Amino acid sequence: MTILACSHRRHEWRPIIVLLLLAATTLWPTNVTAADEPLIMGVFPRRSIAETSKLFTPMSDYLGEKLGRTVKLVPSKNFQTFWKDVTEQRYDIVHYNQYQYIRSATHYKVIAHTQEFGRDSVAGILFVRKDSGITEISQLRGRTIIFGGGKDAMLSYIAPRYLLMKAGLKENDFKTVFAVNPQNALVALHYRKADAAGGGEVVLNQPVVKDAIATQDIRVLASTEPLLFLPWAVKRSMPAALTQSIQSLLLDMKNSDAGKQVLKSAIMTGLGSAEDKDYDPHRQMTIAVLGPDGIAK
Amino acid sequence: MRLSLGAKFTITVTIILVATIAANTFYFLGTSARFHEQQLLERGRALGRLISLVSPDAILGFDFLLLNRYTREVSAVPDVVYGVIVDAKGEPISTYIDDKDPLIKKQIDAAGSKDLSPLLQKLDGQSGLVRLQFPITSNNVVLGRFLVGISRQSLENEFRRQLIVQSMVLAAIVLFLSVAIHVVFRANVLKPINKLIAASEDVSRGQFTLVETKARDELGVLARAFNVMTEAVKREQAKLHRQANFDGLTGLPNRMMAFDRIKQEISRAKRSAQRFAVFFIDLDNFKNVNDSMGHAVGDELLIAIGARVQACIRDSDIVARLGGDEFVVLAPDIASDAKAEELAERLIKAVSEPQLLAGRKVVAHCSIGIAIYPDNGESMEELMANADNAMYQAKSTRDGSAIFFTAEMNIRLRERMQMEQDLNLAVELGQLSLNFQPLFETDGQRHCGAEVLLRWHHPERGAISPASFIPLAEATGQIVSIGDWVLEQACRNWAKWHNAGIDPGFLAINVSRVQFRRRLSVRLTELMANFRIPSHALELEITESVLLDDHSQVAEELRNLRAAGLTLSLDDFGTGYSSLSYLKRFHFDVLKIDRSFVSGLPDDLDDVLLVKAILAMAKGFDLKVVAEGVENHDQLRFLASQGCDVVQGFLLAKPMNEAAYSNFLRSRKVEVNASQTGAAQHGYATGRST
């Protein structure tokens, strides 16, 4: 008798266990799927893939850790590939230059800008050698001017061109040559490969430039108004909460040791808040230099 | 500086090792340096080609930072002290210069600036730098050049380091090998050689040490040879010692050892205040034994006498042979002269014991001189001289006697020595002169010649008898010059008389056995030729003692004299050995009977018989006989009656000097002329007169 009674009580728990197992199997896959979907982070390829990965992997890891989901850095081998991925909105988070942002602003929303040397903005500059005798932009007529990167370089091309334009020098009034980047443009100027060079004002202070040339031989011929540094943007389709989380993480990075380490790795002093209207000056300069088509997608 | 054999060998080996290893090391280092320099160049070329290959894109793209990275990469390459990329115009567009490099720093410091172009120009001539350049081209367009400078400094440092290391290794190897070789050399070569040297020094000290001969190498052979040599030297040393200290004939100690023992005995006796005696023994007439029986028999006699003397002395006494027939006996601890006399008697008795030699019984006698230490001398030389002097005195007394040395003997000896010195000057000072004693034919007493007699008139001592100085002159050898003077004076006189028309007859000249040994015939032939004297004008009187000398030489000289036509007379016949064999062997013309046989005539029966026998024998040998010492008419009559040919003596004429003899001859010439007829009737012609 006693045995029968015990056996009966044990059978009473079976429906409960079955229900718990069913609930677990139903809910578990749903949560896991949401957490595993990575956020894709893109960085414009002004450096090599390896260098880009080295600089920004800590950033993606940091964000992934903080967000509780994977943030995958996908570096591009060149600008064409990068721009293609931008236009196809493959990136959830993207870091690029000001010109690229204003061209992709319909799909991406800027949430932060980089701070370099503790500054939020930087001017576009026309550099000349001190011993060149050039004191006016107009003296550059017929001369060779070297720009860093290409025509989509905001500070190295568009901004200096804007200064030239304002001084009355059209594109055909000088000979345009491009260095692979702004730093090289400045080095080339030092080596007298050009009479002037265009670039951001921070370039002159960059160690790589200081190590390469005697920067005291270079002087600023003209500069634009300060322009906000490089933008960080997210897809406009990103949920607002996630956008907010990412923005908060980015802006708050400089307040923690781990965040500072990440910023140092990415050669930044911090990240500041930004919104689309902060890049209107860039838009105006671009339209002035490249025309309305210049900012077309 | 004197180096030992080991030091020389080690230094030589060390020099060879150093030279060999150093040459090898320098060859290795040289090869290594060339290899490393080649590597350096290859590295530079590889680097340059690589930079040239990758740089065009960077130049075309104004990627100076990339170029800088290239040059920076270049800087990472060891030994690259600069890497410069210049454009087509030669303007530097990327530069790396290691201004910490000593060479670069030196040039920068010298120039006072880092301006690249002058710096590169100055570096161009630096031997410590390898400078390479490579063109950078694109589509056959020269875009620039890559200049790279590679320092040889590390290469040189490495070379120096290797040199130091190799030198240290070399030094260690050389040190180790030198020490090892030295140790091995010392153990295997020097040690045996040092043993040989030590053994050689032992041999030089008279210690005949043998060395080990276990080794089978050359040193072992040398050691064995050394041992053989040592044994031989030992034997020779013993032999020499024996030869130097012992008489080879008798086995007795010799003169040297005798003198040495006497010296030792003097020292010992001086310390203990003892006396000892030296006996100088000389055999009497030993020469006669040698001459008559041969030297072998004489030697046998000496051996026998030595043994007998040895047997009769005490154990503490020493007998030695001084040489010839002289012995000396050293008798230590002689308490009295009587003891010495006893020993002398034993010695005389021992010597005079008959000895059977060559089948004949020979009796030898000896004369002994005895000198006592310290009475007769305190040095060896003094003792020996005095013993010798005493022996000489003993010999002059009678055979078989022993005499102690006395001070008077020395006086006599000094006199003898003085006489010897005076005799040296006698000829020069004209103290010698000739006397002539006429000779007469017995039957008619006709003068036929004269015997030449030597006289010495000493300015202090007056006339000195020939019997005193002739033996001395013979003993000292002065007789040669004196005899030669006599011959020359005799010849001179004969020639003078002859040239004066006087017939001197013949001159009988005594010659000594000493002269006889000195080629007398040659000298006489020379004199006869010089003075134009016929050979029959001279007669040589020779004593029997001459014939005792070497028979062959005597016979030859006699033959020479006879061949020269000279008349030979055997003087003093009968006093000596008077062997009839002499008469048979040597062809004499005349026999001269000694005066001792004539003096007893005609009463002494013995003399009568002897003279008769001599005359009969002379007739038998067809010899003329001269009798000397005729002093009375009885002697003359007897000799005449017995057929003696010639007589000489005071009865007929005494010896006279040259002047007297000249007068004698002149008077005889008158006499001859007056009685020429009578003489012819008496038949006195000698056939000698010319």
- A41 and A6 share one domain: no
DSSP string covering B206-226, please? T----------SHHHHHHHHH
> By mean pLDDT, which of B25-39, B309-323, B665-679 is the weakest?
B665-679
State phi, psi for A48 to the nearest 5 degrees.
-70, 165
| Residue B62 to residue A180, Cβ atoms within 8 A | yes
pLDDT band at B579 (very low <50, low <70, confident <90, very high): low
In the structure encoding, which two tokens stand for residue B271, read together?
Answer: 């310390």
Banded model confidence at residue B520, pLDDT cuts 50, 70, 90:
confident
| A60 and chain B in contact, CB less than 8 A | no
The alpha carbon dihedral of B45, B47, B53, B58 has a sign of: negative
User: What's residue A238's pLDDT?
Assistant: 94
- Long-range contacts of the stretch A206-210 (C-beta < 8 A, 24+): A208/A183, A208/B65, A209/A183
A54 plus A107 within the same structural domain: yes
Q: Is the pLDDT of residue B655 over 60?
A: yes
B149 to chain A, closest Cα gap in Å: 20
Alpha-carbon span B688 to B382, nearest angstrom? 56
- Render pLDDT for A88-147 as a digit per residue (tens, 0 to 9): 999 999 999 999 999 999 999 999 999 988 889 999 999 999 999 999 999 999 999 999
| The two structure tokens encoding residue B382 | 């003094």
> With an 8 Å Cβ cutoff, are A187 and B92 in contact?
no
Q: What is the pLDDT of residues B110-130, one digit of tens each?
A: 877 777 777 877 777 777 888
Enumerate long-range contacts of A47-56, CB under 8 Å, 24 or more apart. Answer: A49/A75, A49/A76, A49/A77, A54/A265, A55/A265, A55/A266, A55/A267, A56/A95, A56/A265, A56/A266
The single residue listed with the structure tokens 């047997």 is B311
Same domain, A129 and A219: yes
Question: For residue range B5-16, what is the model confidence (pLDDT) as tens digits?
Answer: 778 888 888 888
Q: Are residues A85 and A161 in the same domain?
A: no
Asked whether the beta carbons of residue A179 and residue B92 sit closer than 8 angstroms, the reply is: no
pLDDT of residue B3: 76
* pLDDT-above-70 percentage for chain B: 94
Lowest mean pLDDT among A103-107, A239-243, B373-377, B443-447: B443-447
Contact B61/A at CB under 8 A: yes
One domain for residues A267 and A246: yes
The pLDDT, as a whole number, for residue B380 is 93
pLDDT in tens, A207-246: 889 888 889 999 999 999 999 999 999 999 999 999 999 9
Mean pLDDT of B167-192: 84
The rounded distance, in Å, linking the Cα atoms of B592 and B542 is 10
Contacts of A183 in chain B (CB under 8 A): 65
Residue B256 has pLDDT above 70, yes or no: yes
Q: Do B91 and A188 touch (CB under 8 A)?
A: no
pLDDT at A18 over 50: no
- Based on the domain organization, do A130 and A211 belong to the same domain? yes
* A22-26, B18-22, B52-56: least confident range: A22-26
Residue B578 — very low, low, confident or very high, per pLDDT cuts 50/70/90?
low
In this predicted model, what pLDDT tens digit does every residue of B525-546 receive, in sequence order? 999 999 999 988 999 998 877 7
Domain boundary, last residue among A224, A242, A275: A224
Are B334 and B372 in contact, with CB atoms under 8 Å apart?
Answer: yes
Interface test with A, best of B62, B94, B116 (most A CBs within 10 A): B62
CA distance B438 to B453: 11
User: What secondary structure does DSSP assign to B395-435, as a single string?
Assistant: HHH-SS-EEE--HHHHHHHHHHHHHHHHHHHHTTTT-EEEE
What was the pLDDT predicted at B106? 83
Q: Quick one: average pLDDT of B170-186? A: 85
Percentage above 90 pLDDT, chain A: 70
- Distance between CA atoms of residues A120 and A278, nearest Å: 11
Whether B291 and chain A come into contact, CB under 8 Å, resolves to no
Residues of A in contact with B62 (CB under 8 A): 146, 177-180, 184-185, 187-188, 193
Per-residue pLDDT tens digits for B322-355: 988 999 999 998 888 889 999 999 999 999 888 8
Whether residue A187 and residue B64 make contact (CB cut-off 8 A), yes or no, is: yes
Residues of B in contact with A177 (CB under 8 A): 62
pLDDT (mean) for A60-81: 93
State the Cα–Cα distance between residues B396 and B400, nearest whole angstrom: 11
**Residue that finishes a domain, picked among A167, A193, A224:** A224
Q: Does B66 touch chain A (CB under 8 A)?
A: yes
pLDDT for the residue numbered B675: 56
pLDDT of B678? 42
Q: Are residues A217 and A131 in the same domain?
A: yes
Q: Does B87 touch chain A (CB under 8 A)?
A: yes
The number of distinct structural domains making up chain A is 3
Cβ of A191 within 8 Å of Cβ of B65? The answer is no
**Subunit contact A193:B93, Cβ cutoff 8 A:** yes
| Shortest alpha-carbon distance between residue A39 and chain B (Å) | 34
Structure confidence at residue B551 as a pLDDT band (50, 70, 90): low
CA dist., res. B297 & res. B358, Å (int): 7
A195 and A54 together in one domain: no
Cβ of A191 within 8 Å of Cβ of B91? The answer is yes
pLDDT score of A21 more than 60? no
Going by pLDDT thresholds of 50, 70 and 90, the confidence category of residue B608 is very high
Of A177, A178, A188, which has the smallest distance from its Cβ to B64's Cβ? A188
Q: Is the pLDDT of residue B191 over 80?
A: yes
Q: Provide the pLDDT for residue B164.
A: 85
Kindly report which listed range (B244-253, B295-304, B444-453, B546-555) carries the lowest average pLDDT score: B546-555
Total residue length of chain A: 297
Least confident of A201-215, B388-402, B431-445: B388-402
**Domain membership of residue A146 as a residue range:** 124-224
Lowest mean pLDDT among A269-273, B75-79, B276-280: B75-79
Taking only Cα atoms into account, the Rg of chain B, rounded to an integer number of angstroms, comes to 57
Determine whether the interchain pair B66/A178 forms a contact, defined as Cβ–Cβ distance below 8 Å: no
pLDDT of A20: 45
Contact call for A192 and B63, based on CB within 8 A: no
Say how far apart CA B381 and CA B371 lie, in whole Å. 11
The answer to whether B684 touches B443, Cβ cutoff 8 Å, is yes
Q: Is A242 on the interface with B (CB under 8 A)?
A: no
B59, B64, B89, B115, best to mutate vs chain A, most A CBs in 10 Å:
B64
List of chain A residues whose C-beta atoms are within 8 Å of the C-beta of residue B92: 191
Q: Which of A134-148, B195-209, B252-266, B301-315 has the lowest mean pLDDT?
A: B195-209
Q: Which amino acid is at A179?
A: A
How far is it, in rounded angstroms, from Cα B233 to Cα B242?
14
Residues in B closer than 8 angstroms to A208, CB to CB, are 65
B534 near A CB under 8 A: no
B68 CA to chain A: closest CA distance, Å? Answer: 7
- Residues A128, A108 share a domain: no
Cβ contact (<8 Å) for B65 and A192?
no
A43, A106: one domain: yes
Q: Which of B63, B68, B92 sits opposite A180 (nearest CB)?
A: B63
Question: Does A181 sit within 8 Å of B64, measured CB to CB?
Answer: no
Residues A97 and A129 in one domain: no
Mean pLDDT across B640-650: 92
In this structure, the answer to whether residues A73 and A113 fall within a common structural domain is yes
User: According to the model, what pLDDT value does residue B677 have?
Assistant: 45
Q: Does A153 touch chain B (CB under 8 A)?
A: no
**Touching check for A188 and chain B: CB below 8 Å?**
yes
The whole-chain average pLDDT of chain B stands at 85
Give the pair of three-digit tokens for residue B435. Answer: 């006397």
**Is the CB of B64 less than 8 angstroms away from the CB of A184?**
yes
Cβ-Cβ contacts under 8 Å between A and B: the total is 40
* CATH code of A194's domain: 3.40.190.10
Question: Are B563 and B523 a contacting pair, CB within 8 Å?
Answer: no
Show which of A201, A224, A247 is a domain's final residue. Answer: A224
d(CA B208, CA B231): 8
Binning pLDDT at 50, 70 and 90, where does residue B399 land? low
What are the chain A neighbours of B55 within 8 Å (beta carbons)? none
Interchain contact, B92 vs A191, CB within 8 Å:
yes
Q: Which residues of A touch B87 (CB under 8 A)?
A: 191
Note whether B91 contacts A: Cβ–Cβ < 8 A. Answer: yes
pLDDT of residue B456: 92
Which carries the bigger pLDDT value, residue A119 or residue A36?
A: A119
At B577 the pLDDT is 62
Q: In chain B, what residues touch A191 (CB-CB under 8 Å)?
A: 64, 87, 91-93
Q: Does A146 touch chain B (CB under 8 A)?
A: yes
